[in-house]
Amino acid sequence: NDLTCPIIVFDEECFQGRRHEFTSECCNVMEFGFETVRSMKVESGAWVGYEHASYQGQQFILERGEYPQCDAFGGSNAYHIERMTSFRPISCAVSPINSRSQNHRECRMTIFERENFLGRKGELSDDYPSLQAMGWCNNEVGSLRIQAGAFVCYQYPGYRGYQYIMECDRHCGEYKHFREFGSHCQTPQIQSIRRIQQ
Amino acid sequence: NDLTCPIIVFDEECFQGRRHEFTSECCNVMEFGFETVRSMKVESGAWVGYEHASYQGQQFILERGEYPQCDAFGGSNAYHIERMTSFRPISCAVSPINSRSQNHRECRMTIFERENFLGRKGELSDDYPSLQAMGWCNNEVGSLRIQAGAFVCYQYPGYRGYQYIMECDRHCGEYKHFREFGSHCQTPQIQSIRRIQQ
């Protein structure tokens, strides 16, 4: 029953071919006879998908809806992604009502100009399609701390490019250097950030 | 002086090659000796870029920041975009403070299940990375009206896929059928929508 199952993956585009339903994380979709995930339906929650097994490689934020091919969940980047091999739920994603609560305690993070939490800083509790339009000093983030909730950081404005999923309850919520943003991250370039809601 | 010029375009990646600064719309960048735009810096405002001259073809929302190659302003879609030939400012984009004003009069739109403003409807004045997570009935929008401000609509959740820029002061703010969403639009599939701020 599609309605009760958080995520359904298919090994062909447009929801064809082999299918499997998951209610929790999948460390390696190949163990279920898949070469890769080529389409999927997210029925509930917010998930993060990974290019490789064991949650390695490029990351993809997966919110409720339908993804008929790889381009639908990948980012717009030069290293065109054609596979997704592992995925897990994002436990600290907030509900939309809570994420706008009066004191914003549900989604909070701090970005720093330099690594190791040094330099100028900015407090974020909302969505920023352009950090520079919000007054951030340049097109990079050196380090960051997630105090509450979860966010996606992107290389380019308008939520494009590589995606770096940041959660308060993983990695101690602390990312001291851009190498910690994700195994696919090669520069500190981050130009848009938004909250993850479910 | 980069600081005073709203948009600077380059005919090579990474801000190399021929450059030109614009303070208003450009109907055909080829008239300035460019084959296409391959990188750009948006210093202020919110703009929409188009694949072809005269504001035709695929659309790209362009907010403040740096776009070192075409992938940075394109969407994640199967019809991989490699050119941008015209662009113009979005005059009704709101400032972030106003977009969250008490009565939300600054950014408002209504989506309809079917064409010609028929069927179930939803009132939007915020950002929706997943329409279905907000309670929308399916993965399509049949028609829509923009009452105030400007929005970007996307094929897939998480602001991915083809981009359809919708403004209250163009096209009478009314889009009766998905063919009116943009010249590149082939289906009514819309799964995420967000406000355009500057």
pLDDT in tens, A109-125: 999 999 999 999 999 99
**CA-based radius of gyration for chain A:** 17
Cα torsion B30, B36, B39, B45 to 10°: value is 50
B45, B51 Cβ separation under 8 angstroms = no
B174, B145 Cβ separation under 8 angstroms = yes
Chain B residues 168-197 with a CB less than 8 Å from chain A: 191-192, 194, 197
Query: Which structure tokens are listed for A152?
Result: 């996606």
Quick one: which of A9, A61, A1 has its CA closest to A34? A9
Asked whether residue B98 carries a pLDDT value surpassing 90, the answer given is no
Cβ within 8 Å, pair B156-A132: no
A42 inside 8 A of chain B by CB: yes
Query: Which structure tokens are listed for A48?
Result: 């993060």
| Chain A residues in contact with B155 (beta carbon < 8 A) | 72
Of B80, B127, B161, the CB nearest to A72: B161
Of A65, A69, A156, the CB nearest to B65: A156
| Chain B residues in contact with A161 (beta carbon < 8 A) | 71-72
pLDDT digits (tens, 9 = 90+) for B33-88: 999 999 999 999 999 999 999 999 999 999 999 999 988 987 655 456 678 999 99
Query: Which structure tokens are listed for A2?
Result: 């599609």
pLDDT band at A75 (very low <50, low <70, confident <90, very high): low
What value does the mean pLDDT of chain B take? 89
The average pLDDT across A150-177 equals 94
Asked whether residue B131 carries a pLDDT value surpassing 80, the answer given is yes
The predicted pLDDT at position B146 comes to 97
Angle formed at CA B59 by CA B26 and CA A128, multiple of 5 degrees: 100
| Chain B residues in contact with A156 (beta carbon < 8 A) | 65-67, 72-73
Asked whether residue A97 carries a pLDDT value surpassing 60, the answer given is no
Cα of B47 to nearest chain A Cα, Å: 12
A6 inside 8 A of chain B by CB: no
Asked whether residue B4 carries a pLDDT value surpassing 80, the answer given is no
pLDDT band at B97 (very low <50, low <70, confident <90, very high): low
pLDDT band at A99 (very low <50, low <70, confident <90, very high): very low
Is A66 exposed, middle or buried (CB count within 10 Å of its CB: 0-12, 13-18, 19+)? buried
* pLDDT more than 70, % of chain B: 89
The predicted pLDDT at position B80 comes to 67
pLDDT digits (tens, 9 = 90+) for B148-175: 999 999 999 999 999 999 999 988 999 9
| Chain A residues in contact with B42 (beta carbon < 8 A) | 157
B142 inside 8 A of chain A by CB: no
Cα of A76 to nearest chain B Cα, Å: 5
* pLDDT more than 90, % of chain B: 74
Asked whether residue A48 carries a pLDDT value surpassing 80, the answer given is yes
Quickly list DSSP for B68-134.
-SHHHHS-S-SS------EEEE-TTPBPHHHHT-TT-TTSEEEEEEEGGGEEEEEEE-S-BS-TGGG
Cβ within 8 Å, pair A63-B198: no
Asked whether residue A1 carries a pLDDT value surpassing 50, the answer given is no
Cβ within 8 Å, pair A71-B77: yes
The predicted pLDDT at position A104 comes to 42
pLDDT band at B2 (very low <50, low <70, confident <90, very high): very low
Asked whether residue A3 carries a pLDDT value surpassing 60, the answer given is no
Query: Which structure tokens are listed for A128?
Result: 């920023």
Query: Which structure tokens are listed for B19?
Result: 């450059």
| Chain B residues in contact with A64 (beta carbon < 8 A) | 130, 132-133, 157
Cβ within 8 Å, pair A157-B194: no
What value does the mean pLDDT of chain A take? 89
A96 inside 8 A of chain B by CB: yes
A26, A10 Cβ separation under 8 angstroms = no
Asked whether residue A98 carries a pLDDT value surpassing 50, the answer given is no
Quickly list DSSP for A76-97.
S-SS------EEEE-TTPBPHH
| Chain B residues in contact with A133 (beta carbon < 8 A) | 63-65, 96, 197-198
The predicted pLDDT at position B160 comes to 92
B140 inside 8 A of chain A by CB: no
Asked whether residue A100 carries a pLDDT value surpassing 80, the answer given is no
Q: What does pTM read for this prediction?
A: 0.91
Cβ within 8 Å, pair A76-B75: yes
Asked whether residue A78 carries a pLDDT value surpassing 80, the answer given is no
B116, B143 Cβ separation under 8 angstroms = yes
* ipTM for the predicted complex: 0.90
